Amino acid sequence: MSEGQTPQQQANTVEYFLQDIEHHGRNERTAAAYQRVLTDYESFLAERFEKAPPEASYRDCMAWIHELRSTHSESTVATYASYLNRFYSYLERVGHTDENPMTVVLEEMSESIESNPTRRDITLPEMRSFVADVRHPLHRAIVVTLLKTGIRAGELCNLDLIDCHLEHEAQTWQPRAHIAGRPDSLFVSTEHTYGEESGGERRTASNKRKRETVIPIDDELKEVLVRWLAVRPDVAGDSRTPSAAATEPLFVGTADSWGQRLTPNVVHHVVEQYARERGWYRTGGGASENVTPHYFRHFFTTHLRDRTGDRGIVQYLRGDVASDVIDTYTHNWGDRVRETYLEHIYSVAP
């Protein structure tokens, strides 16, 4: 125990650290991952060595890493080690421990985080079979939207009604100006940031793209969205007027969070549920094994790039780093991007 540190302070070190990373803008899912890993580490220390985290030595940390190796992939072990290293760096900085025991552990570890892992190879027929098993209207809308657009889970959660322009009677709101003249399209903004207010609402996810993007909606995705809108729960004050739609989420909960905007955690839970049933997800599995919402972005990128042979259009749709070429696609959206997309986007219907 550091000099002057009470048992109560020792017990709250993880809680203090989680508050610190939240204040630094870490999103809800990242904070939840830190909490899960550090809570498991606390339990390990208490059960194995009867210690609290500030009392742990290099050998205690190494014992935890060794135990992880029996159930987790190398990349996951490296990721969890990086979480623990940041935690101890914080404790050292605020005076809760004299040194970071993870410094030597990281030097001796052979595992590393895969920045661009080789992911599970799923064929288009296999993906169609997967989608066929997703029958819940909300769950199907989530999965098909991710597969058809390549957007991130957080970007999906941040979609408002006005970001969706459907040429269908199911649409009872005025779409935003960016897509008012572009029927059957989605608008993905760059403005939403985790923890900050946007559209009169504090957001639970960030949009990480470098530029705003207009993504076409094909007939298949349109049908799924129309079916979802037919059963979408009303939210408080839902009058479907243009002003109300400006801050109303496109995707809302149908269970515990009835009528509330989805969070990335909910989206990940939905995808994980179906992926486990298919044998595509294992606790402790890394990015090369597990199918998560981000896997669908990888699937979208790979298949559409192979079909079009046009890396620039795929970069535009993904909202990647800007260039003069991307500006060309932005100004030529109606001809080049939409036509190419509709001609080459894969079908996920069985």
Do 108 and 143 belong to one domain?
no
**pLDDT for 6:** 47
In which band, very low, low, confident or very high, does the pLDDT at 101 lie, cut at 50, 70 and 90?
A: very high
- What CATH number corresponds to the domain at position 279? 1.10.443.10
In a domain, residue 349? The reply is no
For the segment 242-247, the average pLDDT, to the nearest whole number, is: 55
Do 27 and 76 belong to one domain?
yes
- What CATH number corresponds to the domain at position 20? 1.10.150.130
In a domain, residue 4? The reply is no
Domain termination residue (choose one: 48, 80, 115) = 115
Query: Are residues 267 and 157 in contact, defined by beta-carbon separation less than 8 angstroms?
Result: yes
In a domain, residue 30? The reply is yes
- The pTM assigned to this predicted structure is 0.73
**pLDDT for 25:** 63
Do 185 and 42 belong to one domain?
no
Most confident of 107-121, 156-170, 228-242, 314-328: 156-170
For the segment 157-170, the average pLDDT, to the nearest whole number, is: 94
Most confident of 28-37, 210-219, 330-339: 210-219
Do 294 and 188 belong to one domain?
yes
**pLDDT for 92:** 86
Question: What total number of domains does the chain contain?
Answer: 2
In a domain, residue 87? The reply is yes
Domain range holding 220?
Answer: 124-236+246-344
Give the span between the Cα atoms of 228 and 231, in whole angstroms: 6
**pLDDT for 5:** 47
Do 258 and 312 belong to one domain?
yes
Do 52 and 140 belong to one domain?
no
**pLDDT for 333:** 55
Do 187 and 327 belong to one domain?
yes
Among 57-61, 102-106, 322-326, which is the least confidently predicted range? 322-326
Do 56 and 94 belong to one domain?
yes
In which band, very low, low, confident or very high, does the pLDDT at 40 lie, cut at 50, 70 and 90?
A: very high
Give the span between the Cα atoms of 178 and 174, in whole angstroms: 11
For the segment 85-111, the average pLDDT, to the nearest whole number, is: 89
Q: Could you read off the pLDDT of 249-261 as tens digits, one per residue?
A: 999 999 888 899 9
Q: How far is CA 161 from the centre of its chain?
A: 20
For the segment 48-67, the average pLDDT, to the nearest whole number, is: 92
**pLDDT for 242:** 44
Average pLDDT in the chain = 86
Domain termination residue (choose one: 115, 133, 159) = 115
pLDDT at position 238 over 60: no
In a domain, residue 252? The reply is yes
Do 230 and 340 belong to one domain?
yes
Q: Report helix, strand or coil for 250.
A: coil
pLDDT at position 111 over 80: yes
**pLDDT for 57:** 93
pLDDT at position 153 over 80: yes
Span between the terminal Cα atoms of the chain, in Å: 61
In which band, very low, low, confident or very high, does the pLDDT at 3 lie, cut at 50, 70 and 90?
A: very low
Query: Are residues 183 and 166 in contact, defined by beta-carbon separation less than 8 angstroms?
Result: yes
β-strands 164-165, 201-202 pairing: unpaired
In a domain, residue 3? The reply is no
Do 69 and 175 belong to one domain?
no
pLDDT at position 10 over 60: no
Query: Are residues 184 and 170 in contact, defined by beta-carbon separation less than 8 angstroms?
Result: no
Q: Locate tokens 């900085």: which residue?
A: 93
Among 96-100, 138-142, 174-178, which is the least confidently predicted range? 96-100
Among 69-78, 239-248, 338-347, which is the least confidently predicted range? 239-248
In a domain, residue 14? The reply is yes
Do 194 and 73 belong to one domain?
no
Give the span between the Cα atoms of 307 and 86, in whole angstroms: 42
In a domain, residue 350? The reply is no
Do 107 and 129 belong to one domain?
no
pLDDT at position 272 over 80: yes
pLDDT at position 193 over 70: yes
pLDDT at position 239 over 80: no
Query: Which residues, other chains included, contact 137 with Cβ-Cβ below 8 Å and sequence gap of 6+?
Result: 227, 228, 230, 231
Token pair recorded at residue 38: 């550090």
**pLDDT for 7:** 46
Share of the chain above pLDDT 90, in %: 52
**pLDDT for 71:** 84
Domain termination residue (choose one: 115, 135, 170) = 115
249 bridge partner residues: 160
**Torsions phi, psi for 233 (to 5 deg):** -65, 145
Among 12-26, 238-252, 276-290, which is the least confidently predicted range? 238-252
Query: Are residues 88 and 80 in contact, defined by beta-carbon separation less than 8 angstroms?
Result: no
